[in-house]
Amino acid sequence: MTVYLDCNASTPPDPRVLETMWRCYALEHGNAGSPHEFGRRAKEAANLARELVGALAGARRHEVVFTSGATESNNLALLGLAEHGQTTGRRHIVSTQIEHKSVLEPLELLRQRGFEITLLPPNAGGRVSAGDIVAALRDDTLLASVQDVNNETGVSQPISEIAEALADKNILLHVDAAQGFGKTGAILHHQAIDLISISGHKIYGPQGIGALIVRRRNSQLPPLAPLMTGGGQEFGLRPGTLPVALAVGLGKAAELAGLEANTRAEKCRAFRKHLWESLQEFRPTIHGDPNFTAPHAINLSFPNVDSEQAIEALAGLLAVSNGSACTSVCATASHVLAAMGVAAAELDGALRFSWMHDTPTPDWEAVCGVLRECQAASNASSR
């Protein structure tokens, strides 16, 4: 049996989430915008889901805007502020070189539209510093956008320190929390975090749903404009009929994450320890400071092992990836590891292992055998 170790790309849905969604699909086919009892029930179900999602970030239900996933949330958070930045003359944004492409590409669009974007590098351990963020701020800075946990290395960023530093400033803070939401405790509760992007399929919920949490500060909403026009749903920020069963699934996944975060993290830490001990003979290099790495991921290079060759050779035993799933579609080297200063030889060998609390134990001895063969083939071809 192939053990799935690509949970940072997508987690399997929790059976309890599927059960909740199935019931919703079967019983609640109404449109949440309709005025009759079917519509009312759909709206109530969606609002309960909003509450459950918001609770994990210390937000109220009317601050939760459902989207199709974190990519859309990131686009809405960043491009949605463009008009405000242009009309107020605040056209400077601070972010980091290790953001997901769904942050970096909207930022590039903003740059083409006259914004100045400062992208800060991480240290060699894959972490940015709150001090560097503060030092980069200017009088015309509109926004800082920083992810909470990196999808390729699992390294968590100093979100609390950044939020603390921005709390008394008139600068918006957006956190791409696709990887950390439901896993990093109360960090996202900080009231100076104005915008939070989340994704259902990273927390054992369904694919195709996420949210942008749009938090009021001093009873003021961030000055976002919608990216699409239509029926005015989702507080006017995201038009289109709400997929109620997906929202309900996300709500259930958030509820379970809140209840089970500690036990899940403990199980993930045990898996990590076992993985690390099992692979010691190869003396792998870890990409990402282990002191700040989330319990469910590790990024490793093995001497003389090419990642693509290893992914193929491990088929049937492990499903792992190199870089992010989106990056591997584009077949480019990891911009995250490159920004960390990882040498070219190691870049080609980097493998991302990411798991969950229920991941079964792989046959590590067989995995080691495959990696030994990869090394032997590589040594033979370089002779």
Catalytic residues: 326
**Residue number closest to ligand PMP, CB atom:** 69
- Cβ neighbors of 77 (< 8 A, separation 6 or more) are 145, 174, 195, 197, 212, 224
The residue behind tokens 């009312």 is 40
CA distance 140 to 344: 37
| Shortest CB 236 distance to ligand PMP, Å | 22
Between 26 and 331, CB nearer to ligand PMP: 331
Between 69 and 226, CB nearer to ligand PMP: 69
| Shortest CB 106 distance to ligand PMP, Å | 11
CA distance 340 to 336: 6
Between 90 and 158, CB nearer to ligand PMP: 158
| Shortest CB 200 distance to ligand PMP, Å | 7
| Shortest CB 179 distance to ligand PMP, Å | 5
Between 82 and 104, CB nearer to ligand PMP: 104
Quick one: tokens of 373?
């063969």
Between 43 and 127, CB nearer to ligand PMP: 127
Radius of gyration of the chain (CA): 21
Count of other CB atoms within 10 angstroms of residue 203: 27
Helix (H) or strand (E) holding 117: strand 116-120
CA distance 299 to 351: 6
CA distance 232 to 33: 10
| Shortest CB 33 distance to ligand PMP, Å | 24
Query: From start to end of 2-115, where are the E strands?
Result: 3-4, 64-67, 92-96
Quick one: tokens of 21?
């969604």
Annotate 254-279 with DSSP letters as a single string. HHHHHHHHHHHHHHHHHHHHHHHHHT
Largest CA distance in the chain: 75
For ligand PMP, the binding residues (CB under 6 A) are 69-71, 100, 102, 147, 151, 176, 178-179, 199, 210, 324, 326
Q: Are 65 and 237 in contact (CB under 8 A)?
A: yes
Between 198 and 342, CB nearer to ligand PMP: 198
Per DSSP, the three-state class of 314 is coil
Quick one: tokens of 131?
């001090």
Quick one: tokens of 40?
């009312």
Between 82 and 146, CB nearer to ligand PMP: 146
| Shortest CB 240 distance to ligand PMP, Å | 16
| Shortest CB 69 distance to ligand PMP, Å | 3
CA distance 356 to 8: 9
CA distance 60 to 155: 28
